[in-house]
């Protein structure tokens, strides 16, 4: 069933908590807009687009930088805010916590140490540029799911059911796409290859597409402004990045498939 009313009770309107939370959500919205504008103008210099220009600071270890920028906010800060600051620990809240954690345990702790990167170094500015937004959005979403008192029957609500389905589908797509990308290189190899199979036959960046689906599902399942601004920020990163990666592939490989889209199958 689907109700038009919010499936939760949260902060009282006149409390400091309310104004801090939604004030930070406003900052999160503005940050998403700024991120899209800047990344659409010029790709961030890492991965396929890394240059010898040190305008983003000295190079640091890629695996450590990735762990710091993702695991600290997504695993540790998120857990601290949820368990120490949050007041709601019902089944729905714990399921949502587990969904977020399942993503960041892999993204922040496992993924950086098993991927075969083209370079083991990345500019420190890129790591910090990922760390600070992740701190903001991880805090906001942990604050929300730790504070929202969801309806007792929210398990049956279409918002929750559809949100979880999208999240799980995106999770599987993201993981399998990363698995295929990792398999393109032998250990110690830094060359680039044309990925094929699975959704790579339709789009250049199914790993980004999968993660966008995850956060779309998250925004629906949590039915929150915090989830919505996080989806907006993620999309503001993935849309221009996928566009730039797609252009890079078509320039790098003369035989790159002409019918592939950048990010969304058949559409974009």
Comparing C-alpha atoms, which of 217, 127, 118 is closest to residue 173? 217
What mean pLDDT is predicted for residues 108-133?
93
pLDDT over threshold 90, residue 86: no
Q: Has residue 226 been placed in a domain?
A: yes
Q: Has residue 1 been placed in a domain?
A: no
Q: Has residue 201 been placed in a domain?
A: yes
As a whole number of angstroms, the distance between CA 268 and CA 141 comes to: 29
Q: Has residue 72 been placed in a domain?
A: yes
Please give the helix or strand (H or E) that residue 8 lies within, else none.
Answer: strand 8-9
Q: Has residue 19 been placed in a domain?
A: yes
Mean pLDDT (the chain, rounded): 94
Q: How far is CA 250 from CA 22, 88, 178, in A?
A: 42, 49, 20
For residue 112, the SS3 value is helix
pTM for the full model?
0.94
pLDDT over threshold 70, residue 1: no
Q: In this structure, are residues 31 and 133 in contact, taking their beta carbons and an 8 Å threshold? A: yes
Q: How many domains does the chain have?
A: 1
Paired tokens of 79: 């857990």
Q: What domain range includes position 189?
A: 9-252
pLDDT at 12: 83
**50-54, 73-77, 143-147, 226-230, range with the lowest pLDDT:** 50-54
Q: Has residue 141 been placed in a domain?
A: yes
Residue 214, classified by CB atoms within 10 Å of its CB into exposed (0-12), middle (13-18) or buried (19+), is buried
pLDDT over threshold 90, residue 88: no
Q: Has residue 94 been placed in a domain?
A: yes
Q: Has residue 138 been placed in a domain?
A: yes
């Amino acid at each position: 069933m689907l109700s038009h009313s919010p499936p939760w009770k949260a902060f009282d309107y006149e409390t400091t908590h309310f104004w801090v939370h939604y004030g930070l959500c406003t900052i999160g919205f503005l940050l998403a807009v700024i991120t899209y504008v800047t990344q659409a103008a010029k790709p961030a210099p890492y991965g396929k687009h890394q240059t010898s220009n040190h305008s983003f600071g000295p190079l640091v270890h890629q695996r450590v930088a990735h762990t710091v920028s993702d695991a600290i906010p997504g695993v540790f800060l998120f857990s601290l805010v949820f368990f120490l600051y949050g007041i709601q620990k019902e089944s729905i809240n714990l399921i949502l916590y587990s969904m977020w954690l399942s993503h960041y345990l892999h993204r922040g702790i496992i993924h950086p140490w098993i991927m075969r990167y083209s370079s083991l170094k990345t500019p420190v500015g890129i790591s910090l540029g990922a760390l600070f937004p992740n701190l903001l959005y991880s805090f906001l979403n942990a604050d929300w799911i730790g504070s929202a008192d969801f309806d007792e029957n929210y398990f049956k609500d279409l918002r929750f059911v559809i949100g979880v389905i999208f999240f799980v589908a995106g999770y599987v797509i993201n993981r399998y796409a990363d698995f295929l990308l990792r398999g393109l290189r032998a250990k110690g190899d830094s060359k680039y290859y044309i990925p094929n199979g699975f959704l790579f036959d339709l789009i250049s960046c199914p790993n980004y597409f999968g993660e966008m689906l995850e956060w779309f599902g998250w925004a629906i399942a949590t039915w929150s402004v915090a989830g919505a601004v996080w989806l907006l920020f993620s999309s503001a990163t993935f849309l221009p990045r996928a566009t730039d990666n797609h252009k890079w592939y078509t320039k790098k490989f003369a035989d790159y498939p002409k019918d592939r889209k950048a990010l969304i199958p058949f559409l974009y």
